[in-house]
Structure 1
């Protein structure tokens, strides 16, 4: 699946900014929207989507498949393809499964031990994982000809998830502590500093043992990659100086650019210059563990940013300037997903909106737009379930205009649904990730503040 940067570049959630009275650093989550039947549907959707990473996992590695097509239209050798970023989302989903009683703690531990064993012997490149592996062997499956080595962005999504697992088990049984220590070793071996490509003050997305830096992708904000810079600054063994973030990601302040849509304002310059904030996964991937609530630096208030992006996405679909069928205040959500013709980065904008709704956009935005997300989930579940809901939850995308309802799933779209629904419900993954002492160190180095560290 193509990386978005290559392809293109109220009633809102109440943010609880005060720290808890104990010293755990945990931040309270939101209360589940309460109307008759809401909780039952919420549970059903979360549990069914979790199954993508449990029953639907690649069996040898125990990790997430890149995709799964119930309709068997796509070449089925992809059933063996493991995706590193989606795997990170998947290990977070397993923690949700344990907490929600979908599986037992023992079952979750056993699966995660299988996954970590695979990662310890699978291909790595200066500590960074490739975008794809063959699940049976752990050998790299090239994403493209020159993209056959380390992928630091996908690695960061994976490490974000693994650090949550480390924190979850680090005070457990001896077996659990051992797993946590093995994860810690993987984290410490990622050479973030290598991916500066000769000590430049920017991070590069790719490095290949065959093609070196030929992909030549210096990652600048704003997009889905904030977590990579946070982890790079936080690494206890291969950390990068603050200048890499400020000069590379933030472009010496050039990242600041206001965009307005009706009553909502964005603070940052979105890569590719989409008119109204870009595909909604930019508000999800980095924030599955990194808690945006009250997270601020000199460039933005990230809680406000992600909420504004979600509200603009919702309002664009309600306004529906291109008059597509099926858009409404109960059916909305534009992000990168399958499309009627291939794969596209759907977003608010006359060029970017192709009439394709991706359920992950609304469902993974529960912490930001709880009422709007609940309305969409209930409408799809109660009125469109036959077309939209399958063995692993809602299918990836659909278009009423084109009468297009493919029965297909992508790991990087299913994972944020499970994780962000749980962050809305309990704050589980946010509290785990933000409890990492290295993350506090890294955020402080970069000039961030967060209620978790008061």
Structure 2
């Protein structure tokens, strides 16, 4: 390890060097204070680590290309990880969020030349064209799960503003990355038609969703979670914006665990990762917090929480977020304890946390591959979750979990998704309107 440099720290070198702060109160710590509180990062990745992460990215990009219908561009919610020839999994449920991650994955694949550029552009165009028309929407919002070939919503599935937001982030990443007027026009139409005030349902916070039979769901997106990107896209909309005051309408509860104090609901770890996959919160703060530093603290607290459980977790084996487990799908993690945490490990928890605690997370991922790769790794990388002591290895991968892993691995390595997405003028403008400032 090299020591933290004392001067000349750029955006990229700071991302490499500084793991973050354990404090995220109203007073912003100085850069030197951050460095003093931080665990050092490697100045550069060693060749083996770089090759390891590159292979994880390549495999994830393959999922988003192979497990999508080529005509609609919709990405399957999940697929078997032991498919040997890359055929489309026979299951038919697509996820609008997986498709959003998939559009961003295509940008990464194009940047890193994992796939032929012409094939990628054709897929992006097909996806945007289908999702503009004839994909069903309500006021520009998409249904959560749909038939991968027809786009029709599955039975009793809600129109989801958060999953629509993830899709839109992918759409806007494509608009910024590809120098293609057709892609830009389609992406702009998809974003601009979203009627954000409608989803507020006469309130100041977004409804959780909407069902055709019964209307708006009663719960709201009213406390800090993964939805920061949703409020920002809505504030920044050039056609149907919400008032910037809505940014202050959701609560920011705090969690205390051991020496850690941070903003969080009683939610899985992924809530601290998703918005950060696209929006660049580094060295920015609003009236309430530095959210990048808050996520650093949340990941540190999560590691300490896992190790405190005496359920098999250690420095080489930790990380739990919403995922499959032996009995289905569950939202689990902590702190505080949420769900039936039983010693299962979820690779996307540490892969998605790489920008926030890189040395610790990279150690886990490499250890998991070294010790359990024969069983836990497949065509698309690590399976969604596994519990080696119980000899259980999930047969599937999930699009959203591969997605957050891929995007934040790439952000850790190069900052590509941050740099690309933030070129959309609506993103920095929304952050400005919400009261963010650099420091």
Q: Give the TM-score, by structure 1 length.
A: 0.83
How is 1:192-271 mapped onto 2 (pairs within 5 angstroms)? Answer: 192-197=196-201, 199-213=202-216, 215-247=217-249, 249-250=250-251, 255-257=252-254, 259-266=255-262, 268-270=263-265
The 1-side partners of 2:422 and 2:210 are apart by: 29
Question: Residues 376 and 382 of structure 2 are in contact (CA less than 8 Å); yes or no, is this contact kept in structure 1?
Answer: yes
Q: CA deviation at 1:70?
A: 4.4
Between the aligned partners of 1:384 and 1:442, the Cα distance in structure 2 is: 44
Q: Secondary structure at the match of 1:37?
A: helix
The CA deviation at 1:368 is 0.7
- Alpha-carbon contact 2:199-2:206 (below 8 Å) kept: yes
Which residue of 2 is the match for residue 302 of structure 1? 291
Equivalent position of 2:314 in the other structure: 328
Please give the per-residue CA displacement for 1:374-422, whole angstroms capped at 9, x wherever unaligned.
1111111122111110011100001134321121111110111111100
Listed as ranges, the matches of 1:169-184 within 5 Å are 169=178, 172=179, 176-184=180-188
| Aligned equivalent of 1:442 | 430
* Paired residues, number: 406
1:227 & 1:80 partners in 2: Cα distance? 28
CA contact (8 A) 2:223 2:253 kept: no
User: Which moved further from structure 2: 202-211 or 390-399?
Assistant: 202-211
How many angstroms apart in 2 are the aligned matches of 1:373 and 1:292?
A: 20
Contact residue 68 and residue 148 of structure 2 kept, 8 A: no
Q: Does 2:102 match 1:90?
A: yes
Residues 391 and 282 of structure 1: CA distance in aligned 2, closer, same or farther (over 3 Å): same
- Asked whether the 8 Å contact 2:80–2:89 carries over to 1, the reply is no
Distance in 1 of aligned mates of 2:14 and 2:295: 18
Q: Are 2:160 and 2:208, in contact at CA under 8 Å, matched by a contact in 1? A: yes
Task: Please list the CA deviations of residues 232-277 of structure 1 after superposition, one character each: whole Å capped at 9, or x if unmatched.
Answer: 1111111000222212x23xxxx243x33333321x241xxx3xxx
Residues in 2 aligned to 1:205 and 1:366: alpha-carbon distance in whole angstroms? 29
Q: Take 1:280 and 1:350, find their aligned partners in 2: how far apart are those partners?
A: 11
Post-superposition offset of 1:18: 7.4
Shift of residue 71, structure 1, vs aligned partner: 6.9
* Aligned partners of 2:196 and 2:242 also within 8 Å: yes
- Superposition pairs of residues 31-180 of structure 1, within 5 angstroms: 33-35=44-46, 37-70=48-81, 79-120=91-132, 121-142=134-155, 145=156, 147-148=157-158, 150-169=159-178, 172=179, 176-180=180-184
List gaps (5 residues or longer) in structure 1.
1-9, 21-25
CA distance in structure 2 between the aligned counterparts of 1:203 and 1:78, rounded to whole angstroms: 35
1:386 corresponds to 2:390: no
* Partner Cα separation in structure 2 for residue 436 and residue 119 of structure 1: 20
Instruction: Name structure 2 gaps, 5 residues minimum.
Output: 17-41
Where in structure 2 are the equivalents of 1:266-345 lying within 5 Å? 266=262, 268-270=263-265, 274=266, 278-317=267-306, 319-321=307-309, 323-325=310-312, 327-345=313-331
Give CA-to-partner distance per residue, 1:315-372, whole Å, 9 cap, x none.
222x242x223x2211111100001222112213445433221000001111111111
Distance verdict in 2 for CA 1:32–1:90, change over 3 Å = farther
Which of residues 172, 175, 191 in structure 2 aligns to 1:187?
Answer: 191
CA 1:282–1:350 in 2, change beyond 3 Å: closer, same or farther? closer
1:88-111 alpha-carbon deviations (Å, 9 max, x no partner): 111111111111110132221111
1:84/1:129 contact within 8 Å kept:
yes
2:427 aligned with 1:425, yes or no? no
Distance across 2 between alignment mates of 1:55 and 1:414: 13
Query: What do the CA deviations read for 1:145-181 (whole angstroms, capped 9, x no partner)?
Result: 3x34x21110011111111111112xx2xxx111111
Q: SS in structure 2 opposite 1:51? A: helix
Instruction: Determine if contact 2:325/2:394 at 8 Å carries over to the other structure.
Output: no
What is the distance in 2 between the residues matched to 1:279 and 1:402? 23
Q: Which has the higher contact order (CA 8 A, sep 6+)?
A: 1
